[in-house]
Structure 1
Amino acid sequence: MSRLTRSDLDALPGYVPGRNVADLARDLGIPEAIKLASNEVPFGPLPGVPEAIAEAVTTSHRYPDMGVTVLRDKLAARYGVDPDRIVTGCGSVALAEHLAKATCFPGDEIVYAWRSFEAYPIIAAGVGATSVRVPNTPGHGHHLSAMAAAVTDRTRLVLVCNPNNPTGTSVTRADLDRFLDDVPSDVLVVLDEAYREFVTDAQVPDALAAYGDRPNVVVLRTLSKAWGLAGLRVGFLVAQPEVATAIRKVVTPFSTSLVAQAAAIAALDAGAEVERRCAIVVAERNRVTEALRKLLPDVPASQANFVWLPLGDRAAAFGAACESRGVIVRPFPGDGVRVTIGTPEENDAFLAAAEAALGQI
């Protein structure tokens, strides 16, 4: 019998979403479970966003502006770049897919750290590219010199996740300077900054400010995390105009929906509130990290809105033990567990579950 899909996809793991909280609560017979698996912010929509959504819905029988003109202009003004350099899409992960489509033929190579964002191998396989995974350092961060050495004449794209998902580790300006100098100018380097708003380490650069003028650098950002639009999927990238133009040609038409555009425009007016919320997350991140290190000393410093527990072969058992106590975390079997920073009460519940789980597994 002939196949109807590509055989190479059989070995590709699917993207794993966080477990549904209602399902877990029902299974455990408890009123409510806690979800700390998907790197969402716990504070609800930003002021003005629900109203903008409600108004936009009244015209949802019309197509959105395919050029995303108003939102691109708003982003351009906030980040100090020309609107022609901005491309929007259905989250930053969709834009990473479009970047792969715009740069790679089958058999070309995409280099990235591992473990890093779990969508990267899926993106590479989707365009028939070869994944070149460079192991992380013992400190769970990108090994940039090894990544530069892994670039060959078949490499078309290099993905640098900073801060790194799922480990929360980051790379410094000095290390990135050296890395970008080492990568050939005809290889596109994508600096994935989905968690940029949570960065407090002055040594971790803002890629738009530091590298925005480099012809072979693309910066990815999202409004799903700090800006609270995870359920509406709005991401954007900033690239040189000729690169941005090429990427727009492969973006799915109308993929930034009418409602998403309205919500994003409203959210961008709430920058001060985003900063306030991020400060709360950072304070809780520091508190949770300090508490975890009393249980597991090698928890790395995080610059994102989550923490990483390098539990190796105990990761799956830890995740199951936390779920049995009503707390959903994100295990990566064989490597570790990622835990999103929630409200103080949610974080306290996780810490209690973690202490019990570590004593059990």
Structure 2
Amino acid sequence: MDIRKIFEAISLELSAKFQKTIQIKHNGGKGDNRENAFVDFLKEYLPNKYGIGRGEVISPENEISGELDIVIFDKDHCPLFLKSDSHSLYPRESVFGAISMKSHLDSDELKDAYKNIASLKKVMSTQDFTDSFAPGMVTGLSPVVPVTAIFAYAANRSLEAIAKQVNDLDKELDNINLRPDFVVVLGLGIVGPNGRIRNNFNMYNLPNDYDNLSLLRATGRHTLLRFYMQLLDELNSITQPKLNLHSYFNMPSRVGEHKVRNHDQLIIRFDGEEKKSVRRLTLAAIDKIIQNSKMVTLKEHFINHLGRLPLDAEEMYDLSTFVYEYNPMNKPPIQILLNENGRPVADVNTFQPLQVEIDGNKYAIDANSINKDDFEENPDFTVTELMSQ
């Protein structure tokens, strides 16, 4: 049996299906048929643990990738937040790789595909994590860098010209890790490293020089086989972190151009209202808070808020981190008073901060320096629903 002959025949079948799509006049129809042929190949030849779909990838920080032609995901363990044949939404912890599909790989198409691949890699976590592969053993792992490729059925130029443009595009990147792993032209060859990129513990090790990154391999009729072998080798080297669905439920919301967390589940009753309701800060309020907040260290914030450092604060916190305080009236640290029933209440004339996250920064917002106009009703929750969480 000759594996090369088998994949050569598959390659000819894909090329034939591509030629059929040329007869379809509608661009969308061409793209769907072109991708479907390659999707069918991947579904048939990749192990069952790998699902194949199309759509966007989302992070717990509410960052979303561009539209990806082919997404390779873990269908055994991770759910899809939105599922359809034409578009799905994948949590980043489920994603093993992505492929940008092209008919003819001209200069503009290659640039566009580079941006598309970078949009995926930018939403992936950059944090190390741990996993337990055996009882009593915990292993440290590097963050996942998904396997990425640009796959074209044909090109209107030489592989040498493509390799040169790949080299130029790599040099334009602020972060070389955002590049696609491979650029593949069916029946022509592969541009990219010829050795393993991912090693043990998810380590992602690109060659140090640009020439090896854009290495030209004129694999001809054996291109599909060589790409398949390298793709599967890289996919099988990845260990994914566990999916924490709670982090997605509590992801920051997009408010205008901002990403905001903990601003939209506030149970409030203003004077004159019969009952409490769930409210959220408006975009205008968020802009006002950002413009009028002062950056202080966490140590300074404790003193501004409590009048002193909490017990064992040096051991429990990194006091050099920053907090943005919204305290426009420069109220003094919080004071506790007793009401007519002898119950403790906070003095409204002192600094009583709400903790909100805006664009990844921690904000401490004096609760009595924002008013009814700074809020709007939040239809996503009722008081009962919030109290039942």
Same fold (TM over 0.5): no
Higher relative CO (CA 8 A, sep ≥ 6), structure 1 or 2?
A: 1
Higher-Rg member (1/2): 2
Higher relative helix content: 1
TM-score, normalization by structure 2 = 0.23
